[in-house]
Every structure is written in C-alpha cells, then in structure tokens.
Amino acid sequence: MDEHASSSRRDIAAIFRDIDTFDPEKFVAHLTDDVVFRFANAPELTGPAEVRKGVTDFFATIAGLSHEVLSTWESGDTVIVRTEVTYTRKDGRQVTVPNADILTFRGEKASEWLIYIDLAPVYAD
C-alpha cells in the first residue's frame, strides 16, 4: 500500500487472499445476504447465490488469478481498493490488468461490491 492508503478497519488484504484461492465459497463468505455485485460490464447480481454462480462461471474461463493490493481508501462504510490482477489463462499465459473495486460494508461484510476492470486483455489472442 502507498503512503496515502488509510488503515482500514477491515482486513481488505484477507478478502483478496480469499478470492485468490479460486474458491467461490470463500468469496461469498464476505458478502451480506442482500449484496449487490457487479463485475466489469456483466449484469448486476443480487445475493450470495447469484454471486456464487457468477464467480463460478467466471472462474471456469481462467486457470487462476492473484491480486496485488496497491492502495486502499476508506470513507465511512465505503472502501476503494486499487489492485493489479494477474490472470492465468487456460493456455498458461499470464496477463496483468489494473483494477479498482468499490466496496460498501455493513459490519464486516460487503453489501455492495462494484468492480471496475477491463477484461479484454485476458481473452485477447
């Protein structure tokens, strides 16, 4: 994290480590029962069951991923996270793309999660 990052009350690094396990159950464990989730330009998903299916479907298109958390900013219940995500494609090639997430928390779980990323390089020939 850079010097401008706030010290979050929530363990954002742990959330992204759970995502990197490639386990949809660990992903949805960080969500409220009524979460609203949007990944890139995909349709909005509501609730852990829809998010679990969406994440499972997405994971089926890649071989792996890892996040490097670069910085976080926190204001009230909202946390903005800037990362670089390295995707491992099915052909073994790795592609790293910049990413920004906006998470709104209710307690320790995200009630809204918006992911701003361009996935085109991940699927480009």
pLDDT of residue 101: 98
pLDDT of residue 9: 59
Number of domains in the chain: 1
Element (H, E) at 26: helix 24-28
Flag whether 44 is in a domain: yes
Flag whether 4 is in a domain: no
Flag whether 6 is in a domain: no
Flag whether 3 is in a domain: no
Residue 62 C-alpha from the chain's centroid? 15
User: Which residue, 26, 25, 46, 28, is CA-closest to 37?
Assistant: 46
Flag whether 1 is in a domain: no
Per-residue tokens: 53: 């299916």
User: Which residues of the chain are modeled with pLDDT < 50?
Assistant: 1-8
Element (H, E) at 18: helix 12-20
pLDDT of residue 105: 97
Q: Residue 23 maps to which CATH number?
A: 3.10.450.50
Owning domain of residue 88: 12-123
Flag whether 7 is in a domain: no
Say if pTM beats, i.e. exceeds, 0.75: yes
What does DSSP say about strands 64-75 and 94-106: parallel, antiparallel, or unpaired?
unpaired
The answer for residues whose C-beta is within 8 angstroms of residue 21's C-beta and 6 or more apart is none
Flag whether 66 is in a domain: yes
